[in-house]
């Protein structure tokens, strides 16, 4: 299980590194590209088999966030238009909330400062 997750997550990261090395895309554009790839692959039914095979290896990278949003929207769409719009927010709320809380706690523990070059 861990080997499959490591291999698939590593492959996704390797693809991202190749994009970084051979294009002039900024980091933000690459993040959006991978998130949109996760959404599109989920919409056409190709990302779920990858998630079933690799687990966290496919859900932890940014493409997994796209999968999470698309999956939430599709499940919400079964309940109606409003649920389709709020489904991604419901699906991602735990992860986003955890990121905010832990970031706040780390800011309290460690002294932040501006990086000078």
State the pTM of this model. 0.78
pLDDT digits 0-9 by tens, 5-42: 999 999 999 999 999 999 999 989 999 999 999 999 99
8 A C-beta contact, residue 32 and residue 39: no
Q: What is the mean pLDDT of residues 79-97?
A: 90
Judge contact between 23 and 9, C-beta under 8 A: no
Which pLDDT tens digit goes with each residue over 106-117? 999 998 777 776
Distances (CA, A) of 71 to 16, 29, 40, 85, 93: 23, 22, 11, 12, 13
Strand, helix or coil for residue 24: coil
Q: Taking the CA atoms of the chain, what radius of gyration do you get in angstroms?
A: 17
**Angstrom distances, CA of residue 53 to CA of 12, 56, 71, 85, 110:** 14, 9, 17, 28, 38
């Amino acid at each position: 299980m861990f080997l499959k997750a490591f291999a698939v997550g590593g492959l996704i990261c390797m693809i991202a590194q190749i994009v970084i090395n051979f294009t002039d895309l900024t980091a933000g554009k690459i993040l959006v590209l991978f998130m949109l790839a996760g959404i599109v692959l989920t919409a056409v039914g190709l990302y779920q088999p990858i998630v079933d095979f690799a687990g966290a290896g496919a859900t932890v990278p940014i493409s997994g966030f796209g999968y999470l949003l698309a999956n939430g929207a599709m499940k919400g769409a079964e309940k109606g238009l409003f649920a389709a719009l709020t489904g991604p927010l419901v699906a991602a709320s735990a992860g986003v909330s955890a990121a905010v809380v832990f970031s706040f706690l780390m800011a309290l523990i460690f002294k932040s400062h501006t990086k000078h070059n």
